[in-house]
């Protein structure tokens, strides 16, 4: 089935929103006669009457009331996509979405280096726990955790993830001691609501009873909060390599055990297909992937 004319849909959306052919004509900078003609042609194409003329103006038919939200949403999607495409081609600002934990512990420090190398491009970081909707949100690029399958989007591999216990140095050397994985039974475990099964998975890999994870501990909404609690000596957290690498390098955290749980997914740089190769988007994506390359990962591996 062929789609109705774009001009007819624009006329319908404006007239339905304003409930006036005269006001719709003024908004679209055409004559009232043109609006009437476009609406009539649209009704013929659809085989449905859209407006009812009353003494004091227009009202929508029931069919038109059902049709309007989808038409309005389609035009809003087109507007956002056009703005994003124009901004990407003209340069100037790039909005990157990721989780608060990855932004705080990994991305922010790297963006500073990118800005120094490319001062003409402003990078704006937006954090959110949900998966960004590129059709409705003002976002050019996202860093997502998963298996790389998001229909309609381009996903480029960024980096793998490794999971292992971390704690403050004073926890490692204090009482009760933390010399072997079984000693975790005597320590406070720090959990996150986002990755609530992490400790159970790690304990299974280490051959330890799952009851250790059931002991009373502390739970946080975000990974970086659990990591900060570990730095403060409040307990033992499960750290993802790219969220704790800087703290390990600075001596704020230590990784006491060599048992590492490799994840079967990883981080991807995700962009809409339509703007994936826009100059600024491609520049930032290539730079980000390069900064997380295998050589960098190996140099930051606490067990290498």
Domain boundaries, the chain: 6-78, 89-156+266-291, 162-264
In angstroms, the CA 286 to CA 268 distance is 12
Phi/psi at 54 (nearest 5 deg)? -115, 170
The first and second tokens of residue 135, run together, are 């059709």
In angstroms, the CA 126 to CA 108 distance is 11
Check residue 298 and give its pLDDT. 44
Check residue 299 and give its pLDDT. 40
Question: At the fourth CATH level, which superfamily is domain 162-264?
Answer: Periplasmic binding protein-like II (3.40.190.10)
Average pLDDT, the chain: 85
Check residue 204 and give its pLDDT. 81
**Sign of CA pseudo-dihedral 226, 230, 236, 238:** positive
Question: Which numeric CATH code is attached to 6-78?
Answer: 1.10.10.10
Check residue 170 and give its pLDDT. 92
Digit-coded pLDDT (tens) for 148-193: 888 889 999 998 878 899 999 999 888 888 889 999 999 999 998 8
Digit-coded pLDDT (tens) for 7-17: 889 999 999 99
Give kind and range of the element (H or E) at residue 63.
helix 62-90
| CA distance readout (Å), 57 to 15, 41, 48, 54 | 11, 20, 19, 5
Phi/psi at 184 (nearest 5 deg)? -60, -25
DSSP conformation letters of 219-266: EESSHHHHHHHHHTTS-EEEEEHHHHHHHHHTTS-B------EEEEEE
Check residue 295 and give its pLDDT. 43
Write out residues in the chain with pLDDT < 70, as ranges: 1, 80, 83-91, 262-264, 293-304
Question: At the fourth CATH level, which superfamily is domain 89-156+266-291?
Answer: Periplasmic binding protein-like II (3.40.190.10)
Check residue 220 and give its pLDDT. 92
In angstroms, the CA 189 to CA 215 distance is 8
The first and second tokens of residue 297, run together, are 């990962």
Nearest to 145 by CA among 191, 190, 181, 195: 195
**Is there a common fold for 6-78 and 89-156+266-291?**
no
In angstroms, the CA 243 to CA 216 distance is 24
Please list the helix, strand and coil fractions of the chain in percent, rounded to the nearest 5, in that order: 50, 20, 30
In angstroms, the CA 140 to CA 278 distance is 10
| CA distance readout (Å), 85 to 36, 53, 142, 275 | 33, 40, 16, 6
With contact defined as beta carbons under 8 Å apart, do 135 and 80 qualify? Answer: yes
Assessment of whether the complete model's pTM goes beyond 0.75: no
């Amino acid at each position: 089935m062929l789609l109705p004319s774009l001009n007819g849909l624009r006329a319908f959306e404006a007239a339905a929103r304003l409930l006036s052919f005269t006001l719709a004509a003024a908004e679209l900078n055409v004559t009232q006669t043109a609006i009437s003609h476009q609406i009539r042609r649209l009704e013929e194409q659809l085989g449905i009457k859209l407006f009812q003329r009353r003494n004091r103006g227009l009202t929508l038919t029931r069919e038109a009331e059902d049709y309007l939200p989808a038409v309005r949403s389609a035009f809003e999607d087109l507007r956002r996509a056009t703005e994003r495409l124009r901004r990407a081609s003209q340069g100037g600002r790039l909005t990157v979405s990721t989780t608060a934990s990855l932004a705080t512990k990994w991305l922010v420090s790297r963006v500073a280096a990118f800005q120094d190398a490319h001062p003409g491009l402003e990078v704006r970081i937006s954090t959110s726990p949900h998966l960004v909707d590129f059709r409705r949100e003002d976002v050019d690029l996202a860093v997502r955790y998963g298996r790389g399958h998001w229909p309609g989007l381009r996903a480029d591999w960024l980096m793998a993830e490794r999971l292992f216990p971390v704690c403050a140095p004073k926890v490692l050397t204090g009482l009760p001691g933390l010399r072997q994985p079984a000693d975790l039974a005597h320590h406070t475990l720090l959990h996150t609501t986002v990755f609530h099964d992490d400790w159970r998975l790690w304990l299974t890999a280490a051959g330890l009873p799952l009851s250790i994870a059931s002991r009373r501990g502390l739970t946080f909404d975000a990974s970086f909060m659990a990591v900060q609690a570990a730095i403060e000596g409040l307990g033992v957290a499960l750290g993802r390599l790219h969220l704790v690498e800087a703290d390990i390098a600075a001596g704020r955290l230590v990784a006491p055990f060599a048992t590492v749980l490799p994840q079967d997914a990883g981080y991807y740089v995700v962009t809409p297909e339509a703007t994936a190769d826009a100059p600024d988007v491609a520049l930032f994506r290539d730079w980000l992937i390069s900064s997380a390359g295998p050589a960098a990962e190996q140099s930051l591996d606490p067990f290498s």
